[in-house]
Copies of this chain bind each other. A is one copy, B any other.
Amino acid sequence: MFAVIMAGGKGSRFWPRSREKMPKHLLDIQGERTIIRETVDRIRPLVPPERTLIVTGRSHATELIRRLPEIPAENILIEPVGRNTAPCIGLAALHIQKRVPDAVMLVLPSDHRIGDETTFRRVLDTAGKVAAGGNALVTIGIRPTGPETGYGYIEQGDPFPAGGDGEIRRVRSIREKPPLEQAREFLRQGRFLWNSGMFVWKASTILGAIERFLPELHERLMQIREALGTEREEQVVGDIYTRLKAVSIDHGVMEKATNVVVVPGDFGWSDLGSWDALWEVSGKDENGNAVRGNFVGIDAGDCLVHSPGKLVALVGVRDLLVVETDDALLICRRGRSQDVRKVVEILEKKGLKEYL
């Protein structure tokens, strides 16, 4: 089994910690280790470094090679521009198929938080066996703990294989992030799981599905395949990527395919997508404050404080996300951290490059 870690995003919702040169997966927001380091270490008992591939943007490749010395440099795949997950996964599938034609590949975002790593690996192992035994597109579904509107949902259908009595099911439908009322209805119905964005399949299976549902992308990927390992490779990948349409694997393939199977998991998962999500999963004091460093609170509660090396005093405030760096300070109401992205957009418009 190979692993593909998608590390293409900037994670601008983690501004001011995330920057052009410091994408989210290089942050250590949860503890001692960077997020990408946690992800690589987490799968290591299942997939060794020489079969772990990381797809990233050009500007972050050097830093990743430096920080993950055990991953061979040729396993760091560079996308010249980001085009969402379908091209990223297609490119990785080409590389893997070239090495081991019938290999199974595990596709993971770079930035998830996993509470129970043992169960996590057990679920992936199960999913890998399902993928290896046929031509299924296997997704990992998370048992929902609340009517979350920030995640997509997977509707479970009949048992897989037919007549089986295990937890593995065919997928009936894949739903985008729902409004709250619908999320509540999903929970009530009981057959919906959160879409984790983690997948397992044979490289040949996903390339076949791309051929069927995204034929234009498939044609371009075949052009790249011809150039792989040649001196033309970088130029061809560059030329083709700039002309590709951005499309997600969910929207482009999974919502249309009929051979989709879901393995449910329950291992303390969060997509760690924002400062709000970080507050949710962080340890808190008796007043609900998640703080790293020296802190004085007077009538202050339910706040996240990231201000390394500085004493922080909160007086009479609740529900704040406070994040400080050497050159910037963010104070955001809890529940509003999706809008941190807008701060980055405003900085871009104002041309304040030093803060991007």
Are A324 and B329 in contact, with the CB atoms below 8 A? yes
Question: Which residue in chain B gives the minimum CB-CB distance to A294?
Answer: B352
Closest chain-B Cβ to A11's Cβ sits at a distance in Å of: 16
Cβ–Cβ < 8 Å partners of A340 in chain B: 313, 315
Q: Is A336 an interface residue (CB 8 A)?
A: yes
Are A346 and B312 in contact, with the CB atoms below 8 A? no
Q: Max chain B CB contacts within 10 Å: which of A310, A315, A332, A340?
A: A315
Count identical subunits in the complex. Answer: 2
Are A315 and B333 in contact, with the CB atoms below 8 A? yes
Cβ–Cβ < 8 Å partners of A327 in chain B: 309-311
Cβ–Cβ < 8 Å partners of A299 in chain B: 336, 339
Q: Is A16 an interface residue (CB 8 A)?
A: yes
The verdict on A316 contacting B333 (CB below 8 Å), with A298-B342, A346-B296 known, is yes
Closest chain-B Cβ to A108's Cβ sits at a distance in Å of: 30
Are B332 and A307 in contact, with the CB atoms below 8 A? no
Whole-angstrom CA separation of A229 from B298 in the bound complex: 48
Are B312 and A343 in contact, with the CB atoms below 8 A? no
Residues of A that sit less than 8 Å from B by CB: 15-16, 294, 296, 298-299, 307, 309-317, 320, 322, 324, 327-333, 335-337, 339-340, 342-343, 346-347, 352, 355
